[in-house]
Amino acid sequence: QVQLVESGGGLVQAGGSLKLSCGASGRPFSTVAMGWFRQAPGREREFVAAIRRTTYTTNSASYADSVKGRFTISGDNNKSTVFLQMNRLNSEDTAVYYCAAKRLGRRGGILRSDDYDYWGQGTQVTVSS
C-alpha cells in the first residue's frame, strides 16, 4: 500500500514563508508526476503546482495562476519526493495542502485531482493577517 506523508504545515503571518515536504512511506517508487493541491473550508480541492517527468532526470513545473511567482515546486520523480516552497503567503492561501503522485506509465494531464493515483493525508497551512 503506497502512502504519501506530508510535513511542514503550520501557522504563519501574512507575508511569511513555509516549506512543505512530501515523501512515500516505506520504499520510494517512481512517478511520472507529483503535485500539490489545496482545499479551503467550503471550497473544492484545487490544483496548486506539479512537476512532470520530462526525461529520467529532469522535470517541468506547472503552477496555478494564483501562486505563480510566489510558490516553487521541486522534487524527484524517481524517489517520489516533492517540496513546495511558499513565499509571500496571504490569507487566501489558508487551506489543507495535499500531496499527490501519478504512477509511472499512466498518461494524461496533471492539473486535475483524478489525474493522480496516490494522496497524502494533508497538512494544514494557516496564514494570519
pLDDT digits (tens, 9 = 90+) for 42-96: 999 999 999 999 888 889 999 999 999 999 999 998 888 999 999 999 999 999 9
What local confidence, expressed as pLDDT, does residue 28 receive?
77
CA dihedral (9, 15, 110, 116) in degrees, to 10, reads 10
CA 105, 108, 112, 113 dihedral sign is negative
Given a cut of 90, whether residue 7 has pLDDT beyond it is yes
Residue 41 confidence class, pLDDT cut points 50, 70, 90: very high
Report whether pLDDT(117) > 90: yes
Cα angle 3, 79, 35 (rounded to 5 degrees) comes to: 65
CA angle 97-89-37, nearest 5°?
20
Q: Which residues contact 68 (CB under 8 A, 6 or more apart)?
A: none
Does residue 29 surpass a pLDDT of 90?
Answer: no
**Which residues, other chains included, contact 23 with Cβ-Cβ below 8 Å and sequence gap of 6+?**
4, 5, 79, 80, 81, 82
